[in-house]
Amino acid sequence: MSLLVSFIGHRLIQRSILLALLVGLAGCSTSPPEGISAVTPFDIARYEGQWFEVARLDHSFERGMSDVSARYLMQADGSVQVINRGFDAKKNDWKEAIGRAVFSGDPKTASLKVSFFGPFYGGYHVASLDQENYQWALVVGPDRDYVWILARDKQLKPEIRAQLLAQAKTLGLAVEQLIWVTHTRQTP
């Protein structure tokens, strides 16, 4: 009898773990938030390279970080290697995360899914872009809680900054909560 109870208990635990995993995977959205479209046409070859994080909404994996940058590098299989770096003042050290991005659909649309943690992907959608020179971008995640303003330089011209803030506000993004990232250190 105790073997039967143990077996049933073990099966219930397995099913609970599987259910939790499936619920977790369902929470990893890769679609753009409702009402936000990704830029098209988009050229990943022009987007490739170094970007500086000018502003972001607060989230746990970048909390307290300054001097944040991202590097996007095309891979032979069509994916994009993503290397994020930033300085953690609390630890007085640089942090780096390396991930992989793939297009969610048509590569001419700036909608990708990015993973830093194995099979778990989150949305990465370029909602606004300097399509002439690829010098700045407004990026949103799978929902309006993830927002980044990126630029090829560490700062934006005031008129570009005002333009991006106006666009972000129109998209329903919490511009008043943006953290403006400082860049005072040289990346090692």
HSE-up (13 A, CA, CB side) for residue 93: 3
Report the alpha-carbon distance of residue 178 to residue 68 in Å, rounded. 14
Reported as a single tens digit per residue, the pLDDT across 105-157 is 999 999 999 999 888 899 999 999 999 999 999 999 999 999 999 999 999 99
Report the predicted TM-score, pTM, of the whole model to 2 decimal places: 0.83
pLDDT at 28: 52
pLDDT digits over 145-172, tens only? 999 999 999 999 999 999 999 999 999 9
In three-state secondary structure terms, 156 is: coil
Domain 44-180 CATH (choose: 3.40.50.80, 3.50.50.60, 2.40.128.20, 2.40.50.140): 2.40.128.20
Task: Annotate 13-25 with b (16+ C-beta within 10 A) or e (fewer).
Answer: eeeeeeeeeeeee
24 contacts 160 by C-beta, under 8 angstroms: no
Look at residue 26 in the predicted model and tell me its pLDDT. Answer: 36
Give which of 29, 106, 40, 42 is closest to 72, Cα–Cα.
42
Tokens 């635990």 sit at which residue?
A: 13
Dist. CA 184–CA 166, nearest whole Å? 27
Q: What is the mean pLDDT of the chain?
A: 86
Q: Where are the domains of the chain?
A: 1-28, 44-180
